[in-house]
Amino acid sequence: MLKKILFLIPFLLIFASCTEDFPEEGELGDENQVIAFKAEPPEVGIGDSTVVTPLMHLPEGEMNYQWFLCLPNKNDQSDNLATCITDRFEEQGNIIGNCADDPEAKLCLLTTDATATYMVPDVLWFSSVEKTTYFYFIHLASLLGDPLTACETAWQTMTPNENCLISGKRILYNGGDIKNQNPSILNLVHEEQTVDPTGIYTVSEDYSYFTVNFDVTSVDEFNPLVAGGFKLEVNYFTTCGKIEPWNDEIRCTSDGTLESAVCEVKEFELSPDISGECLIYVILRDREFYGEEGDVIEGTDPYVPGLDWFIQRIQVQ
């Protein structure tokens, strides 16, 4: 039987859903960083499994990981990871067990692997949900061995650092038949030329302009039902230099079907400051509405989007 873990430190600590400060202009530095999380699939029902994978920038080397599950009080849907953790920790007598040993646990250890897999059990917390609700994955990553030991100071002071990354991912539980899937990024386009996503693409040390190409039919099926169309959020990061803009949106119009959607994808500018091989990261999130207030489809949550990421290898010369 796996041992239970007793925390002797205040568990008021792991609450940033994104603790790392993202650099402006998309420039990734010399410190390890969590860029994004992808849940596959992003919505689950009883009996469904989801796999959560972090997109990591690891210039300092591989890290040690621990994942926790937290099921919040369904009467408080305030997206407050801190409340979820502190309330459940106190309810469980300051003890956190293993999720596999106790499917009813509201706060438990999932795994120490690089990715986390969770199958939604048929327990009261989920079966009592009429439509949708959400729950949390908590991700600890440390360069200095066991995260529970190495991150004690970071937890107590609520100051994650390069040796202790503290992040979270929200997952949507949906008891219905229709669930969101992740969008799908296909490739980058440079000067009207499709970039081979499996190869290394060569650019000069001057500015280069790219657009991202994605499968519009992979976007959340609820989006086109919103008056005025729908939009996606896109972020760009790089180890090559700088990107402008690094945070943007893609607006789409539609007559009510994904096949008819027309999307305006803006260029981003890559400004290299190195020579040699480097990377461009693209993160695409769906289910971002810009219709009239109240247009959110009943039974869905627009703030738990599907997500995809894409990595392009670049050679600057």
8 A C-beta contact, residue 215 and residue 247: no
Q: Is residue 213 assigned to a domain?
A: yes
Angle at 217 between CA 211 and CA 221, to 5 degrees: 120
Q: What's the CA gap between 49 and 53, in Å, rounded?
A: 13
Using pLDDT thresholds of 50, 70 and 90, give the confidence band for residue 286. confident
pLDDT of 90-147, one tens digit each? 899 888 899 999 999 999 999 999 999 999 999 999 999 888 888 999 999 999 888 8
Using alpha carbons only, how large is the chain's radius of gyration in Å?
A: 21
Q: Is residue 252 assigned to a domain?
A: yes
Q: What is the pLDDT of residue 175?
A: 84
Domain with 73, as residue range(s), is 5-174
213/161 same-domain check: no
Q: What's the CA gap between 221 and 284, in Å, rounded?
A: 16
Provide the CATH number for the domain around residue 213: 2.60.40.10
60/159 same-domain check: yes
Q: Is residue 28 assigned to a domain?
A: yes
User: What is the model's pTM?
Assistant: 0.85
β-strands 200-203, 307-316: how paired? parallel
Residue after which a domain boundary falls, among 112, 141, 174:
174
296/226 same-domain check: yes
Q: What is the pLDDT of residue 222?
A: 54
8 A C-beta contact, residue 45 and residue 26: no
Q: Is residue 133 assigned to a domain?
A: yes
Q: Is residue 179 assigned to a domain?
A: no
Number of structural domains in the chain:
2
223/118 same-domain check: no
Q: Which residue has the higher pLDDT, 28 or 290?
A: 28
69/201 same-domain check: no
Half-sphere exposure of 141 (CA within 13 A, CB side): 29
Q: What's the CA gap between 96 and 94, in Å, rounded?
A: 7
34/90 same-domain check: yes
170/188 same-domain check: no
162/264 same-domain check: no
99/199 same-domain check: no
Average pLDDT value for residue range 202-230: 79
Q: What is the pLDDT of residue 158?
A: 58
